[in-house]
Structure 1
């Protein structure tokens, strides 16, 4: 298959890209994304039939309809779309002109119908009046003006009729620090062996006494709190810890660790960025001169000297990146050990759209590679739906990534994964997965790629949402942890019983490759009711060898340290 060169990078104008505006959230902490696709001025709101435009909201003039919808929004939607409807991570704001342009009937139609492939479960299980009240609330929002005062849900949730997981797959009820897992290609079920679920997280405030759980000998402390959507973490050579507060558009710096495990100092290093995520120091070594930031639409860099707590200049543009109003927004950045290559991950614009027929997918679902000045862009590896986290193995110099695979094929398909990345390698998306397994939604397409599709090193539970990963090379943890990988699992939405919401340890047993085995390491972010209070995103090693974990559910950073007995 021909790959695009950097000279073919498309212009991402509103007239050419599919416009995605998210609309609702699920019962479980998340929201339900509602997407509006607009290829031109005459496009239909997510292909809603013309007939729905004549359907009127029967409760539009009823006193209290919008207020009732606001309460429903707080219960079902706020965790992902934000308490003020401002959006979060990859989830857009609902207070937008594009939502205003949709008819009440089109909003109601899509809330009811859903589209699993687009990440939107059907919500016809909610009473009709409640769905209309949600429409009333959405339409009450002023364009580009977020709602205020929507509380975070704290209501209890009765556990569902959750079936027991079929080994080797698991769910949150069986996640426990130290439990080992290994999934192989032979374990994969057929597509649609189970229904495709819409079960996003109902995010609640952390109850008193709820705390992350680590293996014996490890201690978990609260390193920082009160953050705004803390995502990727990176530690500078001097020990300062940087976090991307993606929704806030800023990079925050933490310095030092108190005797109680808290950060000693907090500083805003840079602000005014566009969904920042990736952070990388360049060149390698103890005294980098630049900090590179992966915004959703570009890579920028700031001058940097050891000890800087605030950027000393405006960001310098390095390279444009594929982007759009929908799809995956995270862009991680990493450098080859010799400093000659800059790797940038760019997730797909969809769940499983065919790049052959969807212009918005060009140069997405790829890991791109540039020179450090942004020149000579080309595709390093492709068919990788969403490589959220990138990391260089400090022992071998190999590039590794942590990947969110596709949804919509059932509870136990398709596994997320962690793998070393082969230059020029094809990892399957969207036509194939886990080697020569064809996605039935693309049956018969690209048979020549079946033998090229690479099976990743470590298959994870499907829908885990594996995000940042890091190699542990310090000495605070026991010797057997040296060289192993830690990865944050943000948690499922497309699974009937929750899975993920943890940090895992990928064992390498002192070798350079992974055996496919991994263990639960940090758990406890899901309550027995199925409600979620925390969602791990970033992982990094602090200067003292402890592990730091960002959590955009409770807007905190956790510290995990080991005490020798």
Structure 2
């Protein structure tokens, strides 16, 4: 008890000095077989969040042959974006959580540290629509599409149904192409776990045929310190029938699945996840992985397959034995919050793979993440080290100008990045990709998407043991 009081009362600067004295950072742990050091446990984890700095005349760095511009500024905590069929962009703005009580003095300290790297702007609880009316790459219209939401995060469009994952419920709007304002209040499809909400974000994507929605639900703790009762229906992905609101658990043991996406051509669900803390600067790697139906991914009992976390009581050897190792390590404490597959229109070396928005670390002495990376794919799987696609968020004097969250790849090959610290939406385009070429690319991408849906429908017909009906007119899906 005396030690706890001493820690709580210690000056913040002294705690920072103590926490930065642990072992030096290791090399990046990229790929399917990361090197995992022995766990390091101490009084406090390393805690360093770069202070905020304005962009001013600066802008993020992108590869040669690409350009970046801010298409929306002065937003209210943009998280994820959705490109609509006519090219409009919806932006989900919000800041959730706040109901998780601090359990230990170091939780209070960590909260102070993390607050240095967040915006002071209040979350908008809304969707903002951006429109480039004359196709010149400048989004001259910025208007509120829907408001009075509750920390919206994930977005998906299936036909004329626009789905939004609030922190407490999955809701639906009617959508007609070209509209600039929701025509009615949202319909609640199903409530989502929202008590405590240690991890409040609710990631969302739709299956390739539009029949199901997938929602990522994060844990209510770092490592079950609130007890297992608080983790009911947490650290998992739900599959939801949007017609009835019925849901089932699709995969478990994923501490915080912060973004979901569907792989073109295969219909495979992929996720990025934030792993556990307080085992050292190089444990545990955050990851990108395909999601197996019924799969268990370790949390809380183990990490990266069968590596047992000794802090969990009681332990469960049977669960550990069944744990699936993720496909690809992004390195420890990168905090990936966005993921989307590329397409041919992006061009260059960035056509086969995924873009990942790395929000950035708070719990290591040398900041990691704070950029958008591209993970190349071969034969449908990650292959090779990640490549920086959008960087320059960190300054040379230990500050940061922004923190990437959601990443969306448009049919025309542009990449849309939400930055929730500078409250900006960035758009990255390939140089020379003029409006005519963009339209051709969008048409080609739409044709490919239609082929994917047809292939998915054919597969469903050939394997279904249901009532014999088919889905020849699968709805258009954008997610």
Q: Specify whether residues 186 and 203 from structure 1 end up closer, same or farther in structure 2 by C-alpha distance, changes over 3 A only.
A: closer
Q: Specify whether residues 374 and 413 from structure 1 end up closer, same or farther in structure 2 by C-alpha distance, changes over 3 A only.
A: farther
1:161 CA displacement:
8.9
1:119-518 aligned at under 5 Å gives the runs 124-126=11-13, 165-169=25-29, 182-192=30-40, 197-246=45-94, 247-256=123-132, 261-282=137-158, 288-353=159-224, 357-442=227-312, 445-478=315-348, 480-509=349-378, 511-515=379-383, 517-518=385-386
Provide the rounded CA distance (Å) in 2 between the counterparts of 1:514 and 1:558: 26
Which stretches in structure 1 are left out of the alignment for 5+ residues? Answer: 1-48, 53-108, 115-121, 129-159, 170-181, 283-287
Secondary structure of the residue aligned to 1:475 is helix
Aligned to 1:531: 399
1:122-166 CA-partner distances (Å, limit 9, x unpaired):
9634479xxxxxxxxxxxxxxxxxxxxxxxxxxxxxxx9998743
Provide the rounded CA distance (Å) in 2 between the counterparts of 1:328 and 1:212: 28
Q: Specify whether residues 468 and 374 from structure 1 end up closer, same or farther in structure 2 by C-alpha distance, changes over 3 A only.
A: farther
1:546 CA displacement:
1.2
Q: Tell me how large the CA RMSD over aligned residues is.
A: 2.7
Aligned to 1:134: none
Provide the rounded CA distance (Å) in 2 between the counterparts of 1:493 and 1:374: 40
* 2:251–2:296 CA contact under 8 A, matched in 1: yes
1:113 aligns with 2:7: yes
1:450 CA displacement:
2.1
TM-score, length basis structure 2: 0.78
Secondary structure of the residue aligned to 1:449 is helix
Secondary structure of the residue aligned to 2:51 is coil
Q: Specify whether residues 444 and 364 from structure 1 end up closer, same or farther in structure 2 by C-alpha distance, changes over 3 A only.
A: closer
1:564 CA displacement:
5.2
Provide the rounded CA distance (Å) in 1 between the counterparts of 2:43 and 2:26: 15
1:359 CA displacement:
1.6
Moved more, 370-379 or 394-403: 370-379
1:374 CA displacement:
4.4
1:31-85 CA-partner distances (Å, limit 9, x unpaired):
xxxxxxxxxxxxxxxxxx7x99xxxxxxxxxxxxxxxxxxxxxxxxxxxxxxxxx
1:8-36 CA-partner distances (Å, limit 9, x unpaired):
xxxxxxxxxxxxxxxxxxxxxxxxxxxxx
Provide the rounded CA distance (Å) in 1 between the counterparts of 2:134 and 2:402: 23
1:464-494 CA-partner distances (Å, limit 9, x unpaired):
000110111141422x422310010000011
1:393-422 CA-partner distances (Å, limit 9, x unpaired):
122100011111111100000000011100
Provide the rounded CA distance (Å) in 2 between the counterparts of 1:412 and 1:258: 48
1:442-477 CA-partner distances (Å, limit 9, x unpaired):
266111122211111110111100011011114142
Provide the rounded CA distance (Å) in 2 between the counterparts of 1:543 and 1:396: 18
Secondary structure of the residue aligned to 2:377 is coil
Moved more, 346-355 or 219-228: 346-355
Provide the rounded CA distance (Å) in 1 between the counterparts of 2:203 and 2:12: 38
Provide the rounded CA distance (Å) in 2 between the counterparts of 1:198 and 1:251: 36
Q: Specify whether residues 267 and 428 from structure 1 end up closer, same or farther in structure 2 by C-alpha distance, changes over 3 A only.
A: same
1:32-51 aligned at under 5 Å gives the runs none
Aligned to 1:83: none
Provide the rounded CA distance (Å) in 2 between the counterparts of 1:555 and 1:214: 19
TM-score, length basis structure 1: 0.66
* 1:224–1:262 CA contact under 8 A, matched in 2: no
1:235-289 CA-partner distances (Å, limit 9, x unpaired):
112221111011210001111177874312112110000111011101xxxxx21
1:172-194 CA-partner distances (Å, limit 9, x unpaired):
xxxxxxxxxx3454511011078
Secondary structure of the residue aligned to 1:416 is strand
Q: Specify whether residues 163 and 534 from structure 1 end up closer, same or farther in structure 2 by C-alpha distance, changes over 3 A only.
A: farther
Secondary structure of the residue aligned to 2:362 is coil
Q: Specify whether residues 258 and 191 from structure 1 end up closer, same or farther in structure 2 by C-alpha distance, changes over 3 A only.
A: farther
* 2:48–2:366 CA contact under 8 A, matched in 1: no
Q: How many residues align?
A: 401
Provide the rounded CA distance (Å) in 2 between the counterparts of 1:375 and 1:559: 34
Provide the rounded CA distance (Å) in 1 between the counterparts of 2:364 and 2:26: 13
Q: Specify whether residues 532 and 194 from structure 1 end up closer, same or farther in structure 2 by C-alpha distance, changes over 3 A only.
A: farther
